[in-house]
Amino acid sequence: MLEKLTKQQTKLMDEVRDEWIDIALHKQDFDKEEIEAGVKWLYYASNLKEPKVCIVNGIEDFTKQFTDSVRASVGDSVWDSVWASVRASVRDSVGASVVWTCLSGDADFGAWYEYWKRIGVFQNDKCDKYVGYLRSGAFLVFFFEKVAYVMVRPTSVKQDEQRRLHSTDTPAMTWKDGTELFYIHGVKFTKEQFQKQKTASISDILSWEDIDQRSVLLRERPIETLLENIEKTLIDKNEECGGYKLWEIDLPDIGKARIMTYKSWSSDKQYVKFVPPTSKKCLETIASLREITVKELKNAYKS
């Protein structure tokens, strides 16, 4: 029985990890025959009839191909009158048909299995076949009764130092069909929101509607930097419950307003929010915005 890993075996863990991250995210080729054979084998192993296998080049290509197949079975008047519900049913069907037997869902299994295999602990023919299918480039799959859609790998993936999807100037993920996905430190943005953040003013950032998006924008432009060049007064500071600062600021497009700066209770994430202009004390303001008492706020923080 293996009781302790050698230095080489320990080093191999990182190598296999990086290799599979590369396979999942950064290689762009695909083996059509291997993908088709792998999908048909998965159906066979699940006692299902062999499906037609469609290779799609991205999310938009998949949506078009799938919608076209639904469209082909629905007449014009029906299509027009029930478009909303068709879309809902497409969404429901697709949601239920996304499976994990692909690189986006199971690359970790590939790394896990191949590590044990390479150090001679475990080998299994079915696992070899499955890992071969994963290596063929099936990034995301949607399995239906008669047809299986297989999305190939993205053409570009950008990540931050913590390997979260991230880019502030280009899409974080792109596919051959033109699909673009926008993420900053792992938080998703729509294309419109992403374009807006590039030229966002301090007022835009401080009042950004989604607080998670606001928080990642503050990682790129920290609150201290944002507040550097504006007129501000510290109204109150409280170190309890993680620490809060209440500021009065004067913004060119808003005028005088009050904001609260603070860190998440469970991480180092920086947050900021506008608070009512009558706010005077940090904890009273936070408790009031949650409709609880200061005592309840403190007790919740302790627990």
- Least Cβ distance, residue 261 to another protein (angstroms): 13
270 binds another protein (CB under 8 A): no
239 binds another protein (CB under 8 A): no
Residue with tokens 């109204």: 235
Per the document, the length of the chain is: 303
| Total interface residues for another protein by CB under 8 A | 38
* Minimum CB distance to another protein, residue 246 (Å): 12
CB 169 within 8 A of CB 175: no
Q: Under the criterion CB under 8 A, does residue 88 sit at the interface with another protein?
A: no
Backbone angles phi, psi at 233, to 5 degrees: -135, 130
Beginning with the edge strand found earlier in the chain, give each strand of the sheet holding 52-56 in spatial order. 52-56, 147-151, 140-143, 98-99
Distance, CA of 197 to CA of 189 (rounded, Å): 9
Smaller CB distance to another protein: residue 128 or 250?
250
Name the helix (H) or strand (E) containing 223.
helix 223-228
Asked if 276 interacts with another protein (CB under 8 A), we say yes
* Interface with another protein, residue 275, by CB under 8 A: yes
- Helix, strand or coil for residue 247? strand
95 binds another protein (CB under 8 A): no
Cβ–Cβ < 8 Å for 178, 57 = no
CB of 278 to another protein, least distance (A): 10
For residues 161-190, which are near another protein according to CB under 8 A? 186-190
Using the rule CB under 8 A, which residue among 136, 168, 213, 261 binds another protein?
Answer: 213
CB of 216 to another protein, least distance (A): 9
Does 257 help bind another protein (rule: CB under 8 A)?
yes
Q: Is position 267 an interface residue for another protein (rule: CB under 8 A)?
A: yes
Sheet containing strand 180-184, edge to edge, reads 156-157, 173-174, 180-184, 187-189
Confirm or reject binding of residue 300 to another protein (CB under 8 A).
yes
3-state secondary structure at position 8: helix
- Residue 206, both tokens: 């401080």
> Which pair of tokens denotes residue 245?
């600062």
* Site for another protein contains 238 (CB under 8 A): no
Choose the binding region for another protein from 53-61, 77-85, 98-106, 270-278 (rule: CB under 8 A): 270-278
Footprint on this chain of another protein (rule: CB under 8 A): 186-190, 193, 203, 206-207, 209-213, 251, 254, 257-258, 264-267, 269, 273-277, 289-292, 296-297, 299-301, 303
